[in-house]
Amino acid sequence: MWSLVVFFVVYVFTQSQCTLNVIKERNKLIEKELTMMVGSAIKLSDSELKANEIIMKLKNDEIEHGFIHPNQFNPSKHFFEYKDKVKKTELFQIIRSMPKGAILHAHDTGLLSPDYVLALTYWKNLWFCWTEDKSNIDFHFSKTIPVNPCATEWKLMDKARNASGDVAKFDADLRKHFTIVIDNPHEVYTDVNAVWEKFQQCFINTGNLFNYKPVYEQYYYDTLLELRKDQVMYLEIRSILPKLYDLDGNVYDILETAVTYKRVTEKFMKDYPDFFGAKLIYAPSKLVDKPTFHEYVRIALLINALMPEFLVGFDLVGQEDLGVPLREFIHELAEVRENLDLFLNAGETNWYGTTSDENLFDAIVLNAKRIGHAFALIKHPILMEEVKKRKIGLEMNVVSNSVLKLVEDPRNHPLATFLSQDMPVLISSDDPGIWEALPMSHDFYVTFVAVASRHADLKLLKQLALNSLYYSSYPEKHKLVHAFEIRWTKFIDAIVKDKW
C-alpha cells in the first residue's frame, strides 16, 4: 500500500517537474526571441513604463477582440474599409500624438488628400478638359483658352461648376480623379497592374494642376504643414522635378523646380522653427531608355553642384515589375554614386528570381544608403545579412504595400520578420494622400497593431521613430535626436496624465 502511495507521489512530482521544465524552456525561448526584436535594447523609464501599460492595454484589447472575432479585426480588411474607423480609437489617437521622427520615403504630389486637391480646383483661371469617355481629365491655368491639345474642349472650371446645376455632385465626380479609394476595391483592383494603372493615372490627372508654379509652391508648403501636424519633424522628399509654368505661359526648367523646393523649405522653417526642414531626392521615372537616363545623370550632377547641401540622393520611381531593371543602369548609377547617395526602390514585388526581385542585389552592391520597400528581401537570407552588416536602412511602407496589392493582410507583411530580427527598418508612407491616409499615423498604427508581435510595445514605437532619424541624411543627427527626446518626454507625460 505504502509503496503505491510513494510511487504515486514520486510520479506526480516527476511529472510536475517535467512540466515546469518545459514551461521554463518555453518561456526562455520566448524571452530570447523578444530580445532580438527591434527596440529590445531600449530601457524604459518609470514614466514610460506607466505609459506603456496604457498603450499595451489598448493594443491587447484590439488584438484580443480580433482574435475572438476575426471578421471584426480592422487591419484584416481592406484599408479603405477601416482607414476612417480606426481614427476614432483611443490607441490611434495616442499614436497620432506620438513624435514620429522623419519621413524618408514619400513622393512629391502624393502626400495630401483628394479633398485638398479638390480645393485647388477653386483657384482662378483654371481650365479643364475631359477625355472623350470622361474617364480622365487634364488641367491648365491660363488667362485665355489653353493652346494645349484637348480631346474634347477646354472649359473654364468656375463656369462649368456653376453651370452644372449640382455643385456637390460635380465636385464629388471630380474628386474621384484624385484618389484610388473606391467602395469595391476587390472587384475593381483585381491585380497589381489594375491598381497601379489607377494609381499612376491620379498623378497624370493632376500633373498640370500641380505644375502651375503658385500651386506647386503652396502644395509643398501645405505638405510640410500636414507633416508637422502629424508629429513629423523632418522630411526627405522624392520628386521627379517637373517643369513648372506660370499664368503668362512661362515654363521653368528643372533647376528652378529644385530651387523652389529649397526656397519653400526655408520659408516654412522660418515660419515654424520647430520643424527641422527637408532634403530633396531626385527620383525620375525608371521606365526609360539609356539616353534619357544619361540626361537624368546630367541633371542630378548639375543640381548637386548648385545645392549640394539640399539635394541628398537619387532614386528611380514607377511600377517595379514593368520598369527597366537596375542592372541596365549599373554604370550610370555608379557614376551618380560618386557624388550622391543612392536611395533605391528595389524588391517592391511578389515575384521571386525575376528582374524586379533581383533589383535588390543591384541596390546592395551599388552601396545604396537605403532601400525603398524591400518587400521581397525576406526571400534572400544572404541579402538580409548584407543589409544588417552594411547598415542599409529599409524604408517600409505597410499601407502602400497593402493598397497596391503586394499583401492582402498586413499581418503577413515581411516587415513582421524584419522587426523580429532587429533589421534596420524605418516606417514611412509613400503616397498617403492617394489612399486618404494621414502622413504617418496610419502606417505606425497598422505596423504596431497588425504587423508587429502582440508583445511589441512602446520600445518598438520609439525605436522605429529613432531609426528614421538615424538613417536620415540630416547632417547633425544628434540635434534631431535631442529634439526628439524632448518631444518624446512630453508625449509620455501627456499619456500618463491623460492629456494627450
CATH annotation of 79-111+230-496: 3.20.20.140
Q: Is residue 11's pLDDT more than 70?
A: no
Q: How far apart are CA 303 and CA 45, in angstroms?
A: 45
Lowest mean pLDDT among 7-11, 180-184, 457-461: 7-11
SS3 53: helix
Percent of the chain with pLDDT over 90: 91
Percent of the chain with pLDDT over 70: 97
pLDDT for 223 equals 98
* Identity of residue 482: H
Choosing from 373, 380, 413, 442, the catalytic residue is 373
Degrees (nearest 5) of the Cα angle 172, 178, 182?
A: 70
- 255 has a pLDDT exceeding 80: yes
Mean pLDDT score, 366-395: 98
pLDDT tens digits, one per residue of 437-474: 999 999 999 999 999 999 999 999 999 999 999 999 99
Q: Residue 10 pLDDT > 60, yes or no?
A: no
Give the separation between CA 366 and CA 344, rounded to whole angstroms: 9
pLDDT, residue 7, reads: 52
Region 26-31: mean pLDDT is 88
For residue 197, is pLDDT > 80? yes
Is the pLDDT assigned to residue 112 strictly greater than 60? yes
pLDDT above 90: residue 204? yes
**Catalytically annotated residue among 48, 62, 226, 348:** 348
Supply the pTM of this predicted model. Answer: 0.95
Active site residue 332: no
Mean pLDDT of 250-279: 98
Maximum pairwise Cα distance, the chain = 110
Q: Catalytic annotation on 482?
A: no
In this prediction, residues 43-59 reach a mean pLDDT of: 97
Q: What is the pLDDT of residue 402?
A: 98
pLDDT on residue 77: 97
Alpha helix (H) ranges present in 76-179? 79-82, 90-97, 114-120, 157-163, 167-175
Q: Which residue has the higher pLDDT, 32 or 421?
A: 421
Domain with CATH 3.20.20.140 in the chain: 79-111+230-496
pLDDT, residue 1, reads 59
Nearest to 353 by CA among 371, 380, 327: 380
Q: Buried (b) or exposed (e) across 2-24, using 16+ Cβ within 10 A?
A: eeeeeeeeeeeeeeeeeeeeeee
- pLDDT value of residue 3: 64
Return left, alpha or beta for 422; rule: phi > 0 is left, psi -120 to 50 is alpha, else beta. left
Q: What is the per-residue pLDDT for 299?
A: 96
Whether the Cβ atoms of residue 100 and residue 465 lie closer than 8 Å to each other? yes
Q: What is the mean pLDDT of the chain?
A: 95
